[in-house]
Chains A and B, each alone.
Chain A
Amino acid sequence: MIPYDRLSQIVPADQALACKAISVSLNQIAGITTMTLPSLATVVSGQETTRDLPLISALTVAVPPAVANYFTSNVAVGTGTGNSIVICDVLGTASGFVSAPALGNTISRFSTMDLASLTTIYYTMAQVASGIWTTFEPLSPTVTTTTIPAGYPAAGTYASQDLAIQALIPLAQAEIADLIVRYPTQTSAMNTDWNNMATQLTLEKQLQAQAGLNFANLVPNSTSSMYSFVFNMNSYGNDTQVGGQAQLIEGVGDLTTFTGQAVIAAMREGRNQIGLQSVGITTNGPIPADPNPPPLQANLIPSTYTAQQAANIVVV
């Protein structure tokens, strides 16, 4: 490469400076060193610009922050990396995503709380609703009397089961308020878990709507859909991110069945394939799909000439 200070001693200085500037500019074009001038000329002539699009021409960044923010605020509502959406954000409840551990936590926390009073109130409600404490007026069967026996919450006589239950509801509310005071750690943690479950369900509904997924519109007994699912099982296995396809399908795999275990094994096979293929190791996994024995071929109308026929056709 000849720099300007030398070139300007060989050709006129302005000309030298212009040539150096042009060479710098042309070198901005990626891959230019492997092009020929005619091919570059053809490409340059065909390039379109942002002429008469002043708002685009005025951009000082490729994607304005406001544009990026739109997507990160409105589309990136999932739980994946960068709040991207993962499959469990759409269908996760089926696989126990969020809900299974949350409910498990709730059951554990119940065991650390004295719920006897609340149980008694609910039990009383159940007894009332069952009708065992309700009597009917002999002369007017539509008229009932419900009596909660002494010793039970809200003991007394009510004109209907409905009124008896209504008398019990405030007692349940009060008992729950008391439990919140007595067990702040447990109740707070349970509230977090239940809100997480509700949030998950809400997110699923929202994303299903955006995806145009309406369960009422799915085609019953769509065998081809299941064939596609089976063909994709290997690749499903390779989406191992939290909330990804592998986690979803493992979550719904019925491991008590041969089929369920085969599904999980097929996903593991898919993960193995990536590693094996990367170093050129082949497996016996693929089953030949060609018919065996080969199908008989149909007798089609003859489409070739015999030597004699060809000779007869040739014009000398």
Chain B
Amino acid sequence: MTVTYLTALQLDAAAGLLQNTGLAANAALTTAIGTYNSTDPIGNLLSTLANSTLANLSNVTIQSLESLASNTCPALADSLPTGYTTLTVDTTLFTGLLSNTATLYMGQGDLTKFAQALSQAQSYVDLTAIFVNSAINSQTYLGNTFTSMNNTITGDITTVNLATQAFGQDLANLGDLINLNDLGNFGSPLGLIQQIYSVTGAIPSVSIMFVAVGIPVNVVLGLVDPTISVTDSIQRLMYTAMQQITGNDLAQILSVLKVTTLGITTMADLLNPIKLFPNSYASLTVPAKGQPRPIYVNSTASVDRALINELPSYIINSLA
């Protein structure tokens, strides 16, 4: 049950409102209408129309009086300005229309009708405000960052790959292989080792192979430190070692990482996008200068070398 309460002032107001007091047509408007209607010219004109039935005035004459000066200066005859075809006045003239309208809005003695009208009107106001403000903001809120409706509705997932089902399946098959918080090192041997070690700790067969290809023992032992950095030449040696890790040793790694991707024959394959995304690599894309650009240009799985000039310079060049 929703907890709700009234304040003292709300309760103070409620008693009178439920007895139809406390709210009324605007006092300044009521006063102004009364004052205007009692001015010498207007008072006499209204008196004329008030007696129109008694004086047996024709409809033509009444209409002439009701529209007097409507196209020149309606204020001098309390008439409705011309051109407002949805409005009509009677013998109480334009100020009568104002007065009657205000009274109608206030419920004609039943303030619950005003409450209903206000609620209904406010609902409409609130709804339209959303549409209007959204329409206005729609022209600026994205700046020049809009790429496509696909990217918009998928949270930019289609920026990576339009074939969402195939790409999703490839990702699912990769288990815990990729650390999404370390994408800057995606594809590097050190990044892969750190991800493996974060999942399971050091794997002896990997360490043995690293030592075998010439990586210093102290470096190999230090790889369990997630903050370690190694030289590029060491990483090159790690890659060489990974190319030689196959069979049961590889199976152990794939098991640890929950990788079920088919076609992985060496540990080094875990750094190769074509091996990682066998079902979807052909439709991998990258936003380059505002446009999606295929990463692989054709069925031969050649990487688009032009990306070197299209990707941000800090991604390409360590001196950028």
- Chain B 14-49 interface 0/1 with A at a Cβ cutoff of 8 Å (1 = within): 111110011111111100110110011111110111
| Of A24, A63, A118, the contact of B312 (CB 8 Å cutoff) | A24
Residues from chain A with a CB closer than 8 A to the CB of B308 are 4, 17
Q: Is the CB of A123 within 8 A of B139?
A: no
B228 at the interface (CB under 8 A from A): no
| Of B22, B134, B162, the contact of A254 (CB 8 Å cutoff) | B22
Q: Is the CB of B314 within 8 A of A3?
A: yes
Q: Is the CB of A169 within 8 A of B64?
A: yes
Q: Is the CB of A220 within 8 A of B29?
A: no
Interface size in chain B (residues, C-beta < 8 A): 167
Number of A-B contacts (CB under 8 A): 552
Selecting from A196-204, A296-304, A308-316, the interface stretch reads A196-204
Selecting from B122-130, B202-210, B216-224, B247-255, the interface stretch reads B122-130
Whether A252 touches B189, Cβ cut-off 8 Å, given contacts A106-B36, A129-B54, A229-B115, is no
B296 at the interface (CB under 8 A from A): yes
Q: Is the CB of A42 within 8 A of B168?
A: yes
Q: Is the CB of B155 within 8 A of A38?
A: no
B148 at the interface (CB under 8 A from A): yes
Whether A11 touches B271, Cβ cut-off 8 Å, given contacts A17-B303, A50-B153, is yes
Q: Is the CB of A128 within 8 A of B111?
A: no
When chains A and B are docked, how far (Å) is the Cα of A16 from the Cα of B33?
Answer: 82
A25 at the interface (CB under 8 A from B): yes
Whether A49 touches B314, Cβ cut-off 8 Å, given contacts A129-B57, A262-B16, is no
Whether A206 touches B61, Cβ cut-off 8 Å, given contacts A25-B285, A29-B159, A176-B73, is no
Q: Is the CB of B10 within 8 A of A128?
A: no
Residues from chain A with a CB closer than 8 A to the CB of B174 are 37, 41
Q: Is the CB of A90 within 8 A of B98?
A: no
Q: Is the CB of B287 within 8 A of A28?
A: yes
Q: Is the CB of B6 within 8 A of A213?
A: no
A sample of 13 more A-B contacts (CB under 8 A), given A28-B160, A125-B48, A162-B58, is A3-B315, A3-B318, A11-B268, A21-B303, A23-B187, A49-B164, A118-B41, A161-B55, A172-B69, A201-B101, A207-B124, A219-B112, A229-B119
Least Cβ–Cβ distance between A215 and chain B, in angstroms? 6
- Please provide the chain B residues from 130 to 176 with a CB less than 8 Å away from any CB of chain A in the complex: 131-136, 138-139, 142, 146, 148-162, 164-165, 167-169, 171-172, 174-176
Least Cβ–Cβ distance between B74 and chain A, in angstroms? 5
Q: Is the CB of A75 within 8 A of B160?
A: no
Residues from chain A with a CB closer than 8 A to the CB of B187 are 7, 11, 15-16, 18-20, 22-23
Least Cβ–Cβ distance between A284 and chain B, in angstroms? 8
Q: Is the CB of B27 within 8 A of A129?
A: no
Whether A252 touches B164, Cβ cut-off 8 Å, given contacts A68-B138, A222-B112, is no
A265 at the interface (CB under 8 A from B): yes
Q: Is the CB of B316 within 8 A of A5?
A: yes
Q: Is the CB of A228 within 8 A of B119?
A: yes
How many A residues are at the interface, by size bracket? 35 or more
Least Cβ–Cβ distance between B25 and chain A, in angstroms? 6
A195 at the interface (CB under 8 A from B): yes
Q: Is the CB of B115 within 8 A of A222?
A: yes
Residues from chain A with a CB closer than 8 A to the CB of B153 are 48-50
- Chain A 59-81 interface 0/1 with B at a Cβ cutoff of 8 Å (1 = within): 11111010110111001101010
Closest to B120 in A: A213
Least Cβ–Cβ distance between A116 and chain B, in angstroms? 8
Residues from chain A with a CB closer than 8 A to the CB of B142 are 62
When chains A and B are docked, how far (Å) is the Cα of A126 from the Cα of B57?
Answer: 12
Q: Is the CB of B150 within 8 A of A49?
A: yes
Q: Is the CB of B10 within 8 A of A230?
A: yes
When chains A and B are docked, how far (Å) is the Cα of A234 from the Cα of B307?
Answer: 59
Residues from chain B with a CB closer than 8 A to the CB of A226 are 14, 17-18, 111-112, 115
Secondary structure type dominating chain A contacts: helix
A274 at the interface (CB under 8 A from B): no
B72 at the interface (CB under 8 A from A): yes
Residues from chain B with a CB closer than 8 A to the CB of A10 are 188-189, 232, 235-236, 239
A93 at the interface (CB under 8 A from B): yes
When chains A and B are docked, how far (Å) is the Cα of A122 from the Cα of B138?
Answer: 57
When chains A and B are docked, how far (Å) is the Cα of A260 from the Cα of B17?
Answer: 8
A83 at the interface (CB under 8 A from B): yes
Q: Is the CB of B6 within 8 A of A230?
A: yes
Q: Is the CB of A27 within 8 A of B183?
A: yes
Q: Is the CB of B119 within 8 A of A36?
A: no
Residues from chain B with a CB closer than 8 A to the CB of A253 are 22-23
Residues from chain B with a CB closer than 8 A to the CB of A276 are none
- Please provide the chain A residues from 89 to 113 with a CB less than 8 Å away from any CB of chain B in the complex: 89-91, 93-96, 99-100, 103-104, 106-107, 109-110
Pick from A206, A207, A221, A229 the residue with the most CB of B within 10 Å. A229
Residues from chain A with a CB closer than 8 A to the CB of B61 are 162, 165-166, 169
When chains A and B are docked, how far (Å) is the Cα of A215 from the Cα of B315?
Answer: 66
A179 at the interface (CB under 8 A from B): yes
Q: Is the CB of A85 within 8 A of B167?
A: no
Residues from chain A with a CB closer than 8 A to the CB of B138 are 62-63, 67-68
Provide 19 A-B residue pairs closer than 8 Å at the C-beta atoms, listed in order of the A residue: A6-B232, A9-B236, A11-B272, A28-B287, A30-B156, A45-B165, A47-B157, A85-B124, A87-B125, A90-B124, A94-B101, A123-B40, A190-B75, A191-B75, A201-B97, A205-B86, A252-B114, A253-B22, A254-B24
Least Cβ–Cβ distance between B81 and chain A, in angstroms? 5
| Of B48, B102, B113, B274, the contact of A165 (CB 8 Å cutoff) | B48
Residues from chain B with a CB closer than 8 A to the CB of A135 are none
Q: Is the CB of B176 within 8 A of A180?
A: no
| Of B23, B57, B105, B110, the contact of A263 (CB 8 Å cutoff) | B23
